[in-house]
Structure 1
Amino acid sequence: MMAKTVLLDWDGTLWDVLEFMLETYTHVFNHFGLRVWTREEYREKFRHDWRDMLDDMGLAEHEEYLVNYWEDKIRYDRPMAYDWVKGFIEETAKEHALGVVSSAPRKPLMRELDRNNILEHMEVVVSGDDFEDRKPSPTPLLYATKRLGVKPEDCIYVGDMVEDIQACRQANMPVIAVTWGLHSKSRLEAEKPDHLVEDPVELMEVIKGDG
């Protein structure tokens, strides 16, 4: 049965941020004399909570440096949504209620959704500022379903990280994992999502119930 509601992750799933993040961490690793990760290593090692990753690298005390560099870089080098996203959102919104559930801070999340002409189609937006519990906790997903008045099992979530899959499992919500984002295909496969898709055409087919 086709899901009534489609909930979407932002970073990496709709927002083309992988190369931007690679450049950011390359700069930080170089600055502190650490070996720079390859693109493949990054997708294998990236943690959903970047603070945990800094701790793994022994850089927890330098969190402010990373944040300041990120904020300076994004002023002149803003990532955009993938070029297919606007059409995908407009088409999907014809038959489904849509929402975004992201761990990103609310202010920049709302700004980027608006800048990419996506915000107007969203019936709910849940940000990382709304709860202390973040994915893989199911709390943000369950809050979105409560706001929309739907059951988790009548929704489907689209994400690019293992924590997205884990959160959906706990929420009893079907999940589509996409392979173009921040986590590698092998990491996603290991979590056994309901669907694993490799391009936007396949994503649309699954959402329509044809995949």
Structure 2
Amino acid sequence: MPLTIPRAILFDLDGTLADTAPDLAEAMNRIQRERGLVETAYEGLRPFASAGARGLIGAAFGIKPGEDGYEALRVMFLDNYAEALAEKSSLFDGIPTLIQDLLQHGLAWGIVTNKAARFTDLLIPQIGLQEAGCVISGDTTAHPKPHPAPLFEAARRLNLQPNECWYVGDDLRDIQAGRAAGMPTVAAAWGYCGHAAPISWEADALANSPAELADLIRHSIAQ
């Protein structure tokens, strides 16, 4: 799908707008410390931050959803995270400038994340994203990404058609959700990205930094 002129830019949260990996990793390492285990190195956890509990538990304990012990770890991890979710989290360099760029061009912007609302609602004002035109959490709709439902809901709240919005994310599920919703997609290569190369996701464009994304937007508007 070509990058048509957007009326809004929708963003994933973890690994796209905000670097939340330090607090997510600490919530996991706390479990390991309390169990007398060696902590997983931050470098081993960071790539899985966009996948939330599922990804981080898999990286730290090698356990998948449905396997013995997973649910107990998930509850402990989420409780730990809720207690300290904005200690070290911050916006990526260039994001405040990018948002100002959007506003100067008259574009709306919003957030579509798989993070549950009980975390999203606490985190967003603490890291300076409270002016988002809409915030769709992982439990706002009946299905999280890669289902398109959250993106459809974001477009609805902005009074736009889905194809008038771009979706920007650092995980394959983001690109899959955007495609399913009929939105032009941009892979945020500055984010966590798991162990997959974003160029393989078949996004409509790839940006290596928020500044590159701003250039893509300006170019599309100028056409």
TM-score (norm: length of structure 1)? 0.82
1:100 aligned partner, one-letter code:
I
Change (3 A) 1:152 1:22: same
2:172 aligned partner, one-letter code:
V
CA contact (8 A) 2:21 2:46 kept: no
Change (3 A) 1:116 1:26: closer
1:132 aligned partner, one-letter code:
A
2:99 aligned partner, one-letter code:
I
Correspondence for 1:164 among 148, 155, 174 = 174
2:111 corresponds to: 100
Map 1:25-44 onto structure 2 (within 5 A).
25-29=28-32, 32=35, 33=37, 36=40, 39=43, 42-43=46-47
CA contact (8 A) 2:24 2:85 kept: no
How far is 1:190 from its partner?
2.1
Say what the alpha-carbon RMSD is for the aligned residues. Answer: 2.8
Residue by residue, what CA displacement relative to the aligned partner does 1:181-204 show, whole Å, maximum 9, x if unpaired? 222473422211111111121111
1:22 aligned partner, one-letter code:
A
Local SS of the residue matching 1:11: coil
Q: Provide the identity percentage.
A: 24
Partner Cα distance (1:147, 1:48) in 2: 25
Partner Cα distance (2:128, 2:55) in 1: 32
Change (3 A) 1:98 1:182: same
Partner Cα distance (2:119, 2:24) in 1: 16
Matched residue count: 208
CA contact (8 A) 1:104 1:128 kept: yes
Partner Cα distance (1:113, 1:49) in 2: 16
Partner Cα distance (1:16, 1:191) in 2: 21
Local SS of the residue matching 1:119: coil
Q: Comparing 107-116 with 34-43, which one deviates more in the overlay?
A: 34-43
Q: Comparing 156-165 with 53-62, which one deviates more in the overlay?
A: 53-62
Tell whether 2:14 aligns with 1:11: yes
Q: Comparing 53-62 with 64-73, which one deviates more in the overlay?
A: 53-62
Correspondence for 2:123 among 102, 112, 136 = 112
Partner Cα distance (1:25, 1:34) in 2: 11
Residue by residue, what CA displacement relative to the aligned partner does 1:72-94 show, whole Å, maximum 9, x if unpaired? 3336x241222432222122122
CA contact (8 A) 2:152 2:181 kept: yes
How far is 1:50 from its partner?
2.2
CA contact (8 A) 2:111 2:136 kept: yes
CA contact (8 A) 1:100 1:124 kept: yes
How far is 1:159 from its partner?
0.8
Partner Cα distance (1:175, 1:207) in 2: 12
Mark the runs of 5 or more structure 2 residues left unpaired by the alignment. 58-62
Local SS of the residue matching 1:48: helix
1:72 corresponds to: 83
How far is 1:165 from its partner?
0.6
CA contact (8 A) 2:17 2:95 kept: yes
1:24 corresponds to: 27
Map 1:55-204 onto structure 2 (within 5 A).
55-56=63-64, 59-60=69-70, 61-74=72-85, 77-95=87-105, 96-120=107-131, 122-184=132-194, 186-204=196-214
How far is 1:177 from its partner?
1.0
Change (3 A) 1:18 1:35: closer
1:17 aligned partner, one-letter code:
T
TM-score (norm: length of structure 2)? 0.78
2:31 aligned partner, one-letter code:
V
